[in-house]
Structures are given as C-alpha cells and as structure tokens.
Structure 1
Amino acid sequence: MDTANSGLIGRSSELERLSALAVGARNGHGASLLIRGEPGIGKTALLSAFSRAAHGARLLRADGYEAESEMPYATLQRIGRPLVAHLDSLLPTHSAALRIAAGVAEGAPPDRYLVGLGMLSLLAAAGEEEPITCLVDDAHLVDTESLEVLAFVARRLQAERVLLILSGRPDERMDVAAAGVPVLELGGLDTLMSARLLNRSAPALIDPLLATRIAEEVGGNPLALVELAHEFTLPQLTSSWVTPEPVPVGSRLESHYLQRITDLPPDSRLWLLVAAAESTGDIALISGAAAQLGIPSNASVAVEQAGLASVRDQVAFRHPLVRSVVYNAMPADDRQRVHDLLRVEADAVGRGDLAVWHAAAATTGSDEAVATRLERAADVAGERGGSASRARLLTRAAELTPEGPLRGARLLAAAESAAQAGAARLALTLIGRIDTRTLDPVSAGRVVQLETLVGLFIADRERILSGAADMLRAAELFSGAAPQLEQRALIRAFEVMLTAEWATQDVTLPQLGERLAAGVDVADGPMSIILRGLSAHILLPYQDAVPHMREALVTLAEMDDADVLESGSVAVALTMALWDERASVTLLERSLGVSRARGRLRDADTSLWLLGLIELVRGDPAASARYIEQIRELRRAIGYDAEQVVNAASLAWAGAANAHVELVADAARAVGFAGAWTIAMTGLSIRELADGHYRDAFERLRPMIERPFLQVTYQQLPEFVEAGVRSGNADRVRGSADTLAGFAAHAGTPWIRGLSARCAALLADDGHAEDLYVEAIAHLTESTVVADAGRAHLLYGEWLRRAKRRHDAREHLQRALLIFERCEAPAFAARARRELEATGLKTGADAPTSLHDLTPQESAVARLASTGHTNPEIGAALFISANTVDYHLRKVFRKLGVASRRQLSERFPRD
C-alpha cells in the first residue's frame, strides 16, 4: 500500500500494519484486527484510506447502525449477502444455521457459535475464489449476535485468504465480545502531526506554540483539530491561548455543534432531528416522516452546506457526536413525535423490525400495545438464536408494561435470555427489578433456579454452597403446577451438590436423597427413572441401588439430543458409581458431539472438562491434557482467557510441586468448589503413592474416606488401600478392600474387578498374592483404564522382585514403564525405572519421539485425521476452518516424515 498518498497525516505506521495484514491474507495467512478509539480519533478515516488502496482483494463493508442493534444478525446479513453463491459448498448444518439466522429459512434457532462456524466457512470458501477484505466500522453499534459471530470468526482466522477488520469506540459490550482479537488502539496524533493537521486545515498558518497548546488540549484528536481550524478564526484561537481557559473541546465541542445546529433554518433543524432519530440513515423513511411534518424536500441542503451530514443513498452524519448532540438537544416531545411518524413510515413499507423500535422510543409511561409488539419481536429474535436481542427487547417491553404479574413475567423472560446469552450479571440485575410479590409459584421457582445457576456461572460462593438447597426450594415452588420443572430442579439440586460436595450448606445428602425419591412419582418419564437411580445411589445399600442406577444409565443413553446436553454431571456420577468407564466416555462424547454440531460451545466446554476429569480417573494424564488443550482452543474462540484453564489434579499427575497444586485447589475451595478441591487432593495422593510417600498419601486420604461422598469416595478407596498397606496401616484399610470387593461382586465391570483383585493382592500373604495380581492384570487389561493396568503390572513387578524373581519382574516392570510413558505419568514412570534398575537392568528416560515436536493444535488435528475424520469434520470439532486444518496437516506430515493419513494412523495408535 502506498501510505504516502493516503491523504492521512500521522497514520503511516497504522496503514503499514494494515497493509502487512492484507498482504498476508492474500497469501493465505488469515488475519483480524480491532481498531479501537474515541470518537473523532480517525478510525473511519483510517479504514477509508486503507480501503481505497487495498487492491487485489474483494472488499466487503458493513457498518453498524443503532437501529439495527436490536435486530439479530442484521450486520451479518449485509456481509453475507454478496457471498450467497458459496453457501452450497458448506456443511449442511453450517449453511442451514446461516439461512435461519438470516431469517430466510425455518428451523430450530441456531446457536450463535454454529452461525460463527458457518460464517467462517463461508468467508473461507469465498477466499478460495479471491482474497476477501471485510471492514466493519462502528462495530460498537453492531447487533450483539453479529458482533459475537464476527469476533468468533476473527479469532479463528489462520489459513484463509481473509482479512477482517472491526472498528469501534471503547465499549464494554464490544470489548467483551471481541476479547482475544488483536487490538490496534488508535490514539491521538503526536504534537508534530497535530500541528501539521491543524495547519493544513486552517485558513492561515498557526504559531507553533499555539498549535502545540491546542494539540495538548484536544489530546491529538483529529476531528477536534479539524473542526477547530474550520470554525474558529486565528484571532479566536490565539485568544484561547492567552487566557487560562481551555480551548473549546470535549464538552465544549458539543456546545460548538449545538451552535452550528442552532444556526440552521428551522426546517433544516427539524429535518436533522428526523435524520438523527432514524439512525440507519434510511432516506425513504426520513423523507416520508419529513413530508408528514411539512418539511420541504430541500431542507437537507443547508445541513449539507453546514457540514453536519451528507445525503446520498443514505444519510450519514459528519460524526456520531453530531447525531448525539442533535438528538439529545431537542425537546422530548419533538423526539417522540418524530419517532411516531417514523413508526408509521416503517410500518407502511413493511419494516416491522424498525417500526417497533420507533414505537418504543415514541412511548413514555406504560403502553401494553407497544409492549406486546416488542414481546413479539423478542420472540422472533429468539427463534433466530438472538438471545441477547431477545433480552433487550423484553426488557424494554417490561418497562412499558404496567405494574403487575405480566411485567414480572417479561423481566423474568428477559433475565433468562440474558443468562442464555452469557450476560450473567445483567440477568441478576433484571431479576432484582422483579416485584416477586406479583409472581405465581412457578415464576417464583424460575427466579430461584435462575439465581442459582447464574451464581454458579459467576462463582458466587454463597450461591454455590446453598445451591442444592435453593434448587430444592425451586422444586417446591414448581410442585403441583409444573411436574417437569420440579423433576428437572431436583436433578439440578444433585448436580449442584456435586459441585459443592461436602461443603454444601442448608441441606444434607440424605435429605437430598429423600427429596429426590419423593420426586420419582411426580410424573412418569425419563426424569422419573433418573431420579430413582440418583435417590437409590444416595439412600440404598449398594447391591440394592445397582439395578436402579443401571436403569437410569440406560435411560440417559436413550435420551434425544436435546436432553443429552443436560445430563453430563449425572452421567458421570452414575457411571462412576457403577465403575463403567466405557459408558461414561460414550455418553460424554455423545454430548460433546451434539454440542459441537449445534454450535453450543459452553456445553461443549462442560463436556470437554468432564472428559478431561474422566481421563484422570482412568489414569491417562496425556489424554486429559489433550482435552484441556481443546478447552483452551474453544475458550479462545469464545473470547475467554484460555490460559486460565487449569486442572489441579492434572498438575499433580504432571509432577507440579505439591504447594502449587494445593494453592490452586485451595483457591477453588475458597469460592465454594469443594468438589474440585477433592479431585485435586486425590490427584496429590496418587502422586505421593507414585513417589513412595505412602504415609503422606494415607494421611491425605484418611479424612476424605472418613467423610465419604458417594462415588467420589469410591474412587479413593483403591488408593487408600495401597497407601495403608505400604505405610504399615494394613488393618485400617481392610474394610475399604472389603467394600471394593462388594462393588466388584455387584457392578462386575472389568475395572472394579481388577481394582478389587489388586487391593486384595496387596493385603494377601505370599501364597495367594500372585494369583490375585495375575487376576487384576487380566481384568484391568480388559478395561480401558490404562494407568490402573500399568499400576497392577508395577505392583506385581515389585512383588516379583522382592521374591527374587528378577527376570519375571523385569517383564512386568517394562510393561508398566511403557504404559506410564505413553500416558505421560512421569512419577510412576520414574518409580518403574527405579524398580527395573533394582533388578540390575540399566534404564534411561527414552528420548522424546517426534510426536512431542508437534504443537498442541497440530497434535489434536493429527489425532483426528489419523482416525479417518475429514478436514471439514476436524474443523467443526476444533472450531477452525478446513483451510486451517489443511495448513496444520501439511506441517504435521513434514515434521513426522509421513505422506498419507494411513501412515499417520500408524504414528497415533488408538487408545
């Protein structure tokens, strides 16, 4: 780009940065940028200069409009309209999501992240034909759904011929949505450049000292500099310098605009008000409303001559500040009259979406007719996946609703939509505006339930600890009126208690179990069966609970896709109680697949997190780490700080210092996540076993065993037995071994049968231990719990070495070492090496294979490719485009020296 001829002063480095991004995009290195700056700082001028010189790319431009900010996917429609020819090349789910979001097809409301994947794929497909440059100015005015999709796309651009540039004012909503997008903070011009711009704009040369003073006063704001130079004479500017008063900028600049507006003829001022009220700049609506007011058609001429706005295909204000000053300076009665006329015009041309916005703006006090219309518009927005727009429209509808139950109902619906859109604190604010005295019991229960779920989302300690009791309170409010809601609330009470675990307040586990049992008969159906299984898990002896838990597990497996997304925590609890790790992974992977297919990234996040925990239970920290990396990648796509994704138990397996793990765990417990603390402590106890610190492990586990909590404690029993035997406390752990034997007899899965035999071997005399170790290895090898199989080989190898059967010991210790190295459990691998060396076999840590040279994303792509997934399928799973998948695969092939996916499958054996 030729920055010298751009016409801009003091922006050469910014133009060069944009030029470099454009060159990279043309060469297949997709990029994005958020240009952020205060009004008048030159964002639009920078984009215009760049677009004039951005040759060699197809230019798409769609600026934000306030009137469209309540219309879900309005900006996205304008960007996508020129690209419709490429829709058929997308995955059907992606093209369908885009069509439904655009309102041109019917179907279930698409999640905005699925729309984001569709838009990413659409731009990538168009980029295959020619490079794409997409510019969106005034992004702070873009509707929430479009903004979130554009930010999603911006974070995912990697190997596409696409450049996406957003530009807007500092705005909390925009900053949150665009988190993770590279930012160019556009500041004021330096003193030298400010003086140059001022002098270029002024009719006469300005003294450098005065120019410096003015530049400092306006902070180098280009618009303020230009306006000052045009409006004030040199004597006026000089006078401002010789007095202690600041130059007329900032709030004075608003007064300056007001003066210019006041100088207009009355008809032109009124025309300007109409234009300010119709922020999309729709010339037809503005002209129609102006005609109804009797404003002559040439009234806009004086406005253009004053430099306040231009009138072409649409009305464009000189600067957003002009519109703001015009609109807010006019009397409220005039504003309402103009909005009402614009409503009439919008209705007349079939623009109901604009008409309802103007109707609301024209209304003061309560107006049920307008409120009803807003509610209908909110429902339409919800059907198109616009949760944020629905929340805003319902909030305005509630404001126009007379006091009473309907007002509360609309506020509640708005709060639920806000929570669904991720605006948790807004949801709480809306709840706080509800007069709960006007609510019926079911609505009151929805309030309690929503407050609890939002409290979990924002990590409110009090709500986490009392969450189970609060959910039971919601269930009581639903009782007798909404049986499905009552049963769902009871199941959620169990899920919340899993989060707070032993720290739960206001309700005990047996009390919860009794309430769940009472909920079984509220209504027939899947939730009744699940409640029976959960209450049996809590209240009945294990052998009596097993059939009910199995029936609940079958029910979970048979649920439809919509319900399976709600069942993650329950599925984990029941499968772990039944020692059925295969079923656990199957259910969670199904939930993950459904959430990915529907673009529901927060549900995908939950499934990935639970899968990561299950892999730690299975003793495979490498597999757990892969899920953690997918969570990081997913959260980058959403816009969260991915580096904060930490699993304390994973840190323990990986060899982090105890103090570090305990610090992370204690932080989780401090906000009420006692379940996370327990998982971390269990991980530390396993690490202590690996390191041979048996007494430390015993003392860490003992208080948790003495304070049992359902299946959580079940998983600790094998560790407690090993720690007790090796620390000289065998008699104190025999009861735990007996409990495991009972589990094995009634659950009967290979996993629990192997663990029970392994613990029995530790306690057996030498005459019986060997058969039990062999039995344990056989069962655990049949299971998918890799580390427990490795630990059985390790314990048997240690027993054989002590029996002076070194050759036999080496065989099992080497198998254990291979398992621990593969699943990246360094502490157990080190223990296996020590034991091998004690047999006389010299070992050393194997050099890392070339697989370890891959980045986490390359590894994730390679593993999916090795199992036969296509590039589009991999892209959908990892929330990247097929182009980016291809880019990573080429690097993987080069690093590993392979030439085909078949060869890749040989390098990534299935677990």
Structure 2
Amino acid sequence: MMRAMDAANHPLIGRTAELERLSDLVAGSRNGHGASLLIQGEPGVGKTALLSEFSGAMHGTRLIRADGFEAESSMPYATLQRISRPMTQHMGALLPTHSAALRIAAGLDDGPPPDRYLVGLGMLSLLAAASDEEPIICIVDDVHLVDAESLQVLAFVARRLEAERVLLVLSTRPDEQVDMAAAGVPVFELGGLDPLSSVELLNQSKALLDPLLATQIAAETGGNPLALVDLTRDFTASQLTSSWLTPEPMPLGSRLESHYLRRIEQLPPDSRLWLLVAAAESTGDIELINAAAGRLGIGPSFVAEVERGKLASVRDSVVFRHALVRSAVYNGMPDADRRRVHDVLRVEADALGRPEVAVWHAAAAAIGTDEAVAKRLEAAARTAGERGGTASRARLLARAAELTPAGSARAERLLSAAESAALAGAATFALDLISRIDMASLDRVSSGRVVQLHTLVALFIADHDRIVTGAADMLRAAGLFHGAVPDLEQRALIRAFQLMLGAEGSVDGVTLTELGQRLAAGVDVADGPLCRILRGLSAHILLPYDQAVPVMRVALATLSDLDDADLFDFGSVAVALTMALWEERAGIELLERSARAGRRLGRLLEVDTSLWLLGTLELVRGDPAASGRNIEQVRQLRQAIGYDAEQVVDASYLAWSGIPIPQVEMIADAILATGFGGAWSIAMMGLSVREIADGHYRDAFERLQPMIARPFLQVTYLQLPAFVEAGVRSGNAHLVKGSAEKLAWFAAHSGTPWIRGVSARSAALLADDDQAEGLYIEAIEHLEQSSAIGELGRAHLLYGEWLRRAKRRHDSREQLQQALLIFEQCEAPAFAARARRELEATGLKLGGKTPSSADELTPQESAVARLAASGQTNPDIGAELFISANTVDYHLRKVFRKLGVTSRRQLSERFPTD
C-alpha cells in the first residue's frame, strides 16, 4: 500500500486538538454512536501524518485502512474491495440481496449489475455486522484518487452511520468531485500549524534559527508542516533569509515540487528511472515495479540511493515521502520516458495476470490514436458495467474514444460513455461527452439516442429551454428510431407523454392533440405491452371519455401485469391512467410496488421518484398525513444519496399543511419558472383546496376558473369537484353546473367509488333541499368504499354544514364529529379548524386536540414503528429506510420507551395497518 512517509519524522507537533476530536469520535463509536468525518487539507498540511498518529494510538478496535490510487481510479469498487476483504466472514449476516451486490461488485459472482446504492446498503450492513464483534475504525486516505463507485458508496455509508460501532474517516485534498459525492458528510478543514508549533517543528528539523526568521518562515508557509521541514532542510540561514523574505506570496505546491525535482536531478540516471517506474505504478505494487525495472535493466542497487535521499521507502510496497514527490518525479520526466515506462508496466501487468492495471498503463502509454488500446479499454468498460460501475465505464469509454480515429466508432464510444455518465448521475460529464460527438458520423438510431439522452439529462440540471421542448424533442427521437428499433421508438413516445405531463401548460413545440396522434401512430409499430400502453395514452388524449375508458383499462391492466422492476419507467404513466379512471387504489398499489422493487434492488433514484409521486397521489385523495410520510422518506433518502434534504419541497403539501398562502405561491412560481408546469398546476390545486377549507371560496373559484378553461387531461378532471364547491359557495353556481354534469358523466362511465362519491357530493351542493340530503348520503356511502379519506371527510363536513343550516343540530354534530376525526387523523389543519368552528356553532363546546404519545416520535422513529407494526424484521426495515439493522434496533428501543409498550404486538395495536 502506497502512503506518504511522515514528513517530519518527529512526534506529531501541534495537533492535540485534532487528535482529541478524533478520539471523541472513537469513544462515541465504541458506545454505538457511529460517526464519519471528511478531513480536507492542502498538500503537505499533514493529513496522512495525523491519520497515522491517530490510528497508531487506537487499541481495542479493529483498524481497516485502504487508500486511493490513481491507477485504480477507473476500476469500479477497487477501494471498496480492499475495505471489505477483512470482513468477509460476516457476509452471512447480510440480506441475500446485499451480499450478492457486494460479490458482483467485487467481480466474484456473475449477475445483474447492482445499483451503487444497493452496494452501499450492503457495505453499511457489512460494517454494522462486523462492528458487533468489535468497534471498527475505517480510514481511507487520498479519497480524491478513489474510484468513483467506491467514493459514492463510502459517502453513502458515511451519511447513514448512526447506531453502529463504526467510525469512518476519509481524507482528501480540495477536490470538486469529492465535494459533490460526499455532500452531507461532516467536514473538518485541516489547516497549517499555529505559529508556536511551526517554530518548534522548524527548529527540530534544523539547527536553531533566529526566532524572528523562524516566525517569518512559519507565517509564509501558513504552518504547512511539509514545507516547514523539507523547504528548509537544505538551506543555510543566509539562504533562507534571501529565499524566504520576499514580497511575493509563495505557491507552496509549486515550490515544494521544484524543491523535490532538484533533489531528484542529483540522483544517478538509473535511480531516476526507477523512481519513474514507481511513480507511474501509483499503487506501489513492489512485484510489478521490480518486474518492470528489471525489464528496463535497473538493478536493486539503485533503490538504496533513492532511500538514502529520503524520497521514498521500499518495503512490502513503495511509499513516497509525499504525493508531491511522486508528482515531481512523474512530471519532471520527458513524455517519451513516461510512455516507455507505462508500456513496460503494461507488459509486466499482463504477465502477472492483472488486466485492469495493464489496460490503464496501455492507455497512459498511447500517443495519438490507437485502436488496439481503444478496444482493450472498451472491453474493460464492459467488465466495469457488468459490475455496476457506470461511472468507471463512462471514463474508460471516454478514454477509448480519445484513442479512436475520427468516424462512427469514435462517435459511438462517446455516446455510450455519455449514456453511462448519465446513469451514474454525472450530468455535466454526460453533456461534455455529447458535445464532442460528430453528429454527421452517426446513423439515425444513434442520432435518436443523442436527442433522447440530451433531453433526459436536461431534467437533472433543470434546463428550462429543454424541459419545455422535451416532449417535442422526444418525438423527434422517436422519429429517428422509426423503422429501425421499434422498442426504442415506443419507449420514446411514452417518454414524450411523460415529459408533456411534467411541462403541461409550459410545453413548447408540440400540442396535446399532435402528441396523441403520434402516440396512436406508434401503436402499430410493434405488438406487446408498450403497444397497449400507447393505445391507452392516445385514447386518453384523443377519444371522448366514454370511449377512452375501456382502452385505458386495458393499458392499466398491462401496467399491473408488468414485473415490479419494469414499473420504474412508467410511474407517471400509472398516475395519469389511474387518475383518469379515478382508480386511486390501483395508483397507490402500482407506486408502492415500484418503491418496494427499488428498495430491494437498491435503485434509490427510482424509489425517490415513486415516493414523490405517492406523496402527490395521497394529496389528491385528501390524505396529507400519508403524503407527509412519503415526503419525509424522500427527505431521508435524498440525505442518504447526498442531496440537500432541505430542498424537498412539495408546494401542494405545504398548502394543505397550513403554510401561509403567499409563501406557497412564491414557491410555486419558482417551480413554474423552471418549466415544470405540471408541478405548478398541482400546487394550484392544493392552494384552491386550502382556500376552500378557509372559507375563501371566491379566491378558490378565481384560481381554478382559468385552469378549467384550458383543460389538460385528468389534471382538469381532478380539479372539477373543488371548482364546483368553490363556485356554489361564491355565488357562481350557474358557472359550475357544466362541471358537475361532467363529473356525473365520468361517474357513469368509470363507476369507481371515488368518482361516484365526489360526483354525488357536487350534485348535492347544487341540488334543492328536498334532493340534497339523499345525494350527501349517497356520496358518503360511495366514498366509504374508496380510499379517498379526505374526500370522505369533506362529504361529512358539507353534509354536517347543510344539516346545521336546516336546524338539525344533533344530526349535524354527528356528521361534523366524523369529519373532525378524519381531518385530525389525516392531518388537514385547515379543514379540521373549519369542522371545529361548525361544531361550536351547533353549541358543542370543544377542548383542544388530545396529544398522543405517538406525536412525540421523530419522523424516523415513526417510520420504523409503522414498519415494525406491520411485521417486518429489523433487516427488512433497514433495507426499506436505508439504514442498518443496528440503527433500526436503536430507534425501536426509543419508540418502545416513548410509547410505553414492550412488544411488537402492542406496537401493531398503536399503528394498525390500513
């Protein structure tokens, strides 16, 4: 293993506070409080020395250390393999899906490429299992050189450590990629030594200096230990005075590298060449380095000269004094020498059976274009992809493209690299690769792939222009696929529909009717599930509702018959069809299936999408409590992934929850400015319901009226009940009769309890008194058969208000109390307040809501409690919530204590399943 030698070769000076902080983290981890820390600092500031001093003082713990190497940066999960190797005996304690993911990622087993987050969950569980035996300290130095997949997994684990006896410490130079991957991990900026410690170190490494000079040197170096020791070692006091006391600031990295280069140039040529071999083989693999040196005719005698110069040490591996020494060696040699050394290392790596190392050296040795090396890189990329290494695959293919002559093969490799980069979440890298493609060299299908990829990447970076033209662009991609790849064409057409849903009123470049006609044309491209889904979507757009319903039901049945994993691509389609048919139960079921499959496969981005859609669907059926639970899971998930969890904002949920309306409008307008007209429309629906709950019926009517006037598929269907209520209560009953009639038409042809209930409720609002009561009762009976709990509460509320105006106080109280109970259970404060006001108007005196001990639970504790109440085991709960079984147990113990229960059976009584 290659690590920097201790720069000072002295006991660590001036790092007492830093060591105490690390020791406190160790003490916490011993007691089951897992922790992580990312140490950042400039080269030479002492990160490695600090970690060495820290790890050397740890007793009664298991130390696992694995550093990053440049040669492994395109080998997926290379660093993770070295971390997990000492813990293989604990693999049996993992869920089968987690252990399988780790083994496939390591290249030990064949199987479907695992998602990086599934590997992360496996690694978290493995560390947790191993820490049950003894506390674990895991240290990874030079994280900026770690392969992308290992970095993502390590960051994931660092964010999820909670109740494990594990401390994970990472260290890195300032690096943008590390900052992005490790977002959310606690960061400690390691600065230079304080002035007194700097002077002490300086005087220990050199004959006593004048105090003023020593203080000035310490100030100019910023207390950087490597600079203090190495830049002063070879200077006399007079040289130091002239060299250091200058008006210009000193660039430490360049100054140190120049210093090391001067020392290297004093070595014999063969010693310099041996150092170049060691610098080129960055892992410090002594067997490979010796083999390559032997092929170059360099004997072992020259190694002694290198060690005498204190530039590197040679034992089980080659350890440079510092990364800047390696940089000075490598960058100080001519290009031709570097390529020659890499080529020799390639030959010897192949001979030793290390193809992944060999291909890296082959690429470094290449000059100009080299198809043979490009093919080797392409093969390595294929292997990386089979292990789930999408980021490594992208990098390998990008390098292969650089070595490929201009033409279709180069363009294809760049396109494949861009697709892998997008899968890895590296949107900027994907766009950069797309920009390098010579479109003239692509065939129609590859051109379609570029259009499709560019459109989908735009969603990641919130590119307004491409979001609003996304549906039109995807139709263009479908046209390029036409006649060549039917599956790609049909999938592009479905994506065009989904993009239209997202942009809604903001869409540009295609009308809804044009989209429907193109979807209908795509039906006959090929038979199968996609054909039936397309037929249902085109019917939704083009046909009258009564004719569209049976076709949409076939499409919905097709979705229901898909395997769980295949549902990932159709979440918004499922929402559109189920809402158009008023089949809320089917919508919830499909999205929950998709979320479960995503958790099982570790595909957390798909879980995120499914949970977000679930949250929206729960609001549509009037259950903000269920919506909030899904939104909280999204927050926890995004925190695990490394996104800013505080940016999880659903404007419609905020409206239901009682946030001031101007604040919600401001958030909704910001969403609309990005091009996501669909999310803005949902927010407006939430605000209109809130205004109805508050009794501001005219505001709700005026908000909904322009939206009803420009109908958009099932979105408008769902707005009609609120529009009818707002219109009747604001004195505009004559303007909403048509909407109530339309609801009745939907109810006649859909026939689900939900639409029949809201239709009867709307009709009751418009009916004469002698008919209204029967319609309210009918509405309640239908809605009791649905899962639209909020709609049922509103039916009880409206009926109770009607009864109170009819002077039937006793009957009114019964209905209003039912409404209040529902609104408190589903956490709809504005409607609950309205029900309370109505009850008090009947003469009933009400106290405040009785707080429940369950209200004291944190969102995470509540989620654990509900899953445990449903009968799930701790490992299963951990997999669902992206935490370890240890953390589940920790939360359950707190839940039991807060609720005063002693068993899961009692817990199930407190959290009954639906």
What TM-score, normalized to structure 2? 0.98
What is the rounded CA distance, in whole Å, between the counterparts of 1:281 and 1:342 in structure 2? Answer: 12
Please say if 1:545 is aligned against 2:548: yes
Q: Which amino acid aligns with 1:686?
A: V
Match of 1:701 among 685, 704, 723: 704
List per-residue Cα deviations over 1:627-683 (Å, max 9, x = no partner).
Answer: 111111101111110011000001100111111000100000001011111111110
Secondary structure of the structure 1 residue equivalent to 2:168: strand
Please say if 1:260 is aligned against 2:263: yes
Corresponding residue for residue 518 of structure 1 = 521
Q: CA deviation at 1:56?
A: 1.1
Match of 2:608 among 605, 608, 622: 605
Q: Which amino acid aligns with 2:620?
A: V
CA contact (8 A) 2:253 2:324 kept: no
Please say if 1:66 is aligned against 2:64: no
Judged with a 3 Å threshold, the aligned counterparts in structure 2 of structure 1 residues 245 and 90 are, in CA distance, closer, same or farther, namely: closer
Corresponding residue for residue 895 of structure 2 = 892
Corresponding residue for residue 652 of structure 1 = 655
| RMSD over aligned Cα atoms | 1.1
Single out whichever of 505-514 and 563-572 deviates more from structure 2: 563-572
Corresponding residue for residue 862 of structure 1 = 865
CA contact (8 A) 2:231 2:259 kept: no
Please say if 1:184 is aligned against 2:188: yes
Corresponding residue for residue 115 of structure 2 = 111
Please say if 1:56 is aligned against 2:57: no
What is the rounded CA distance, in whole Å, between the counterparts of 1:208 and 1:686 in structure 2? Answer: 75
What is the rounded CA distance, in whole Å, between the counterparts of 1:245 and 1:577 in structure 2? Answer: 71
Single out whichever of 790-799 and 24-33 deviates more from structure 2: 24-33
What is the rounded CA distance, in whole Å, between the counterparts of 2:234 and 2:421 in structure 1? Answer: 45
What is the rounded CA distance, in whole Å, between the counterparts of 2:242 and 2:376 in structure 1? Answer: 55
Judged with a 3 Å threshold, the aligned counterparts in structure 2 of structure 1 residues 400 and 20 are, in CA distance, closer, same or farther, namely: same
Secondary structure of the structure 2 residue equivalent to 1:567: helix
Q: Which amino acid aligns with 2:68?
A: G
Please say if 1:139 is aligned against 2:143: yes
Pairs within 5 Å for 1:671-690: 671-690=674-693
Q: Which amino acid aligns with 1:265?
A: P
Match of 1:47 among 46, 51, 58: 51
Pairs within 5 Å for 1:513-592: 513-592=516-595
Corresponding residue for residue 404 of structure 1 = 407
Secondary structure of the structure 2 residue equivalent to 1:840: coil
Q: CA deviation at 1:285?
A: 1.2
Please say if 1:750 is aligned against 2:753: yes
What is the rounded CA distance, in whole Å, between the counterparts of 2:441 and 2:704 in structure 1? Answer: 50
What is the rounded CA distance, in whole Å, between the counterparts of 2:903 and 2:443 in structure 1? Answer: 64
Q: Which amino acid aligns with 1:94?
A: H
Pairs within 5 Å for 1:271-350: 271-350=274-353
Single out whichever of 693-702 and 552-561 deviates more from structure 2: 552-561
Single out whichever of 578-587 and 286-295 deviates more from structure 2: 286-295
What is the rounded CA distance, in whole Å, between the counterparts of 2:867 and 2:116 in structure 1? Answer: 25
Q: CA deviation at 1:194?
A: 1.2
What is the rounded CA distance, in whole Å, between the counterparts of 1:515 and 1:429 in structure 2? Answer: 31
Corresponding residue for residue 16 of structure 2 = 12
List per-residue Cα deviations over 1:663-712 (Å, max 9, x = no partner).
Answer: 10000000101111111111000000001000110000000000111011
Corresponding residue for residue 850 of structure 1 = 853
CA contact (8 A) 1:6 1:49 kept: no
CA contact (8 A) 1:248 1:256 kept: no
What is the rounded CA distance, in whole Å, between the counterparts of 1:246 and 1:759 in structure 2? Answer: 76
Q: CA deviation at 1:231?
A: 2.2
Secondary structure of the structure 1 residue equivalent to 2:73: helix
Corresponding residue for residue 631 of structure 1 = 634
Q: CA deviation at 1:910?
A: 2.8
What is the rounded CA distance, in whole Å, between the counterparts of 1:562 and 1:410 in structure 2? Answer: 28
Judged with a 3 Å threshold, the aligned counterparts in structure 2 of structure 1 residues 668 and 242 are, in CA distance, closer, same or farther, namely: closer
What is the rounded CA distance, in whole Å, between the counterparts of 2:726 and 2:413 in structure 1? Answer: 57
Corresponding residue for residue 176 of structure 2 = 172
Judged with a 3 Å threshold, the aligned counterparts in structure 2 of structure 1 residues 758 and 333 are, in CA distance, closer, same or farther, namely: same
Please say if 1:218 is aligned against 2:221: yes
Secondary structure of the structure 1 residue equivalent to 2:169: strand
Q: CA deviation at 1:247?
A: 6.3
Corresponding residue for residue 5 of structure 2 = none
Corresponding residue for residue 447 of structure 2 = 444
Secondary structure of the structure 2 residue equivalent to 1:33: strand
Q: Which structure 1 residue ranges, 5 or more long, are not aligned?
A: none
Q: How many equivalent residue pairs?
A: 906
Corresponding residue for residue 123 of structure 1 = 127
Secondary structure of the structure 1 residue equivalent to 2:63: strand
Q: CA deviation at 1:250?
A: 3.5
Please say if 1:37 is aligned against 2:41: yes
Q: Which amino acid aligns with 1:475?
A: A
List per-residue Cα deviations over 1:756-792 (Å, max 9, x = no partner).
Answer: 0000100100000000000100111111111100000
Please say if 1:728 is aligned against 2:731: yes
CA contact (8 A) 2:565 2:594 kept: no
Corresponding residue for residue 504 of structure 1 = 507
Q: CA deviation at 1:20?
A: 0.7
Pairs within 5 Å for 1:345-364: 345-364=348-367
Secondary structure of the structure 1 residue equivalent to 2:132: helix
Corresponding residue for residue 596 of structure 2 = 593
CA contact (8 A) 1:30 1:159 kept: yes
Q: CA deviation at 1:245?
A: 6.0
What is the rounded CA distance, in whole Å, between the counterparts of 1:41 and 1:334 in structure 2? Answer: 31
Pairs within 5 Å for 1:831-846: 831-846=834-849
Match of 2:821 among 818, 827, 830: 818
What is the rounded CA distance, in whole Å, between the counterparts of 2:228 and 2:604 in structure 1? Answer: 46
Secondary structure of the structure 1 residue equivalent to 2:188: strand
Corresponding residue for residue 481 of structure 1 = 484
Judged with a 3 Å threshold, the aligned counterparts in structure 2 of structure 1 residues 147 and 248 are, in CA distance, closer, same or farther, namely: closer
Secondary structure of the structure 1 residue equivalent to 2:469: helix
Corresponding residue for residue 495 of structure 2 = 492
Secondary structure of the structure 1 residue equivalent to 2:291: helix
Secondary structure of the structure 1 residue equivalent to 2:39: strand
List per-residue Cα deviations over 1:329-374 (Å, max 9, x = no partner).
Answer: 1111111111100000000011000000011111011111110110
CA contact (8 A) 1:218 1:250 kept: no
CA contact (8 A) 1:340 1:359 kept: yes
Corresponding residue for residue 827 of structure 1 = 830
Q: Percent same amino acid at aligned positions?
A: 74
Corresponding residue for residue 155 of structure 2 = 151
List per-residue Cα deviations over 1:256-303 (Å, max 9, x = no partner).
Answer: 111001001111001011111111111111111111111122211111
What is the rounded CA distance, in whole Å, between the counterparts of 1:188 and 1:54 in structure 2? Answer: 24
Q: Which structure 2 residue ranges, 5 or more long, are not aligned?
A: 1-8
Q: CA deviation at 1:200?
A: 1.5
Single out whichever of 423-432 and 561-570 deviates more from structure 2: 561-570
Q: Which amino acid aligns with 1:37?
A: G
Pairs within 5 Å for 1:368-383: 368-383=371-386
Q: CA deviation at 1:217?
A: 1.3
What is the rounded CA distance, in whole Å, between the counterparts of 2:236 and 2:591 in structure 1? Answer: 72
Judged with a 3 Å threshold, the aligned counterparts in structure 2 of structure 1 residues 715 and 320 are, in CA distance, closer, same or farther, namely: same
Corresponding residue for residue 883 of structure 2 = 880
CA contact (8 A) 2:271 2:303 kept: yes
Q: Which amino acid aligns with 2:330?
A: Y
